[in-house]
Amino acid sequence: MDKVTVLIEGYANKTSNGWVATSSTTLIQTERHNIIVDPGINKNLLLERLSAKNLNTGNIDYVFLTHYHPDHSFLAQIFNNATVYDGSTSYKDDREVEYSGLLPDTNIKVIPTPGHTHEHASLVIQTDDLGTVVVAADVFWWTNQEKQDIDLKNLLAKEDALAVDRDELTKSRKRVLEIADWVIPGHGKMFQVKR
């Protein structure tokens, strides 16, 4: 079974003229691959957390981007050996290849979860210790000033001022909550889905 580790718990601090933020960064280890999901924008913190796992950027085979906001995707280029994936396409050097269903050469499901952005996608990972983990990124996210309320009704109703389509976001949230035992949000603590 695959192993999931949150390397960086995403944070988002609203300031008077912008944000101080980086996404949650997740390490997925399969029998064959080391995968980074949303490398974020805080390079020093990412390198420190990789080193703590006895890894460096050259040890990463895949980088998966849930969406293209810079606080999630900015550091993708530091993984020189990795193939970069989004919800439907892989990128290696100047080559683009479409795929669907599973992240290639893994049992990790890729599901579209639009709403926060049109292209947003999430990963569904089966684990021995946690059950089904969904790396949902900005399907769910909180600023550091907000209480992370994980009551199911409140999760569905939570505002997302950056969402491009509120109806699609609600559908994506329902989908994630129906299948996940644990959810890794874009900013905030990993949480258990209590039905």
CA 63 to chain centre: 10
DSSP for 54-73? T--GGG--EEE-S---HHHH
Give pLDDT tens digits for 40-97: 999 999 999 999 999 999 999 999 999 999 999 999 999 999 999 999 999 999 999 9
Report domain extents, the chain: 3-192
- The pTM of this model reads 0.97
Q: Does domain 3-192 have CATH number 3.30.429.10?
A: no
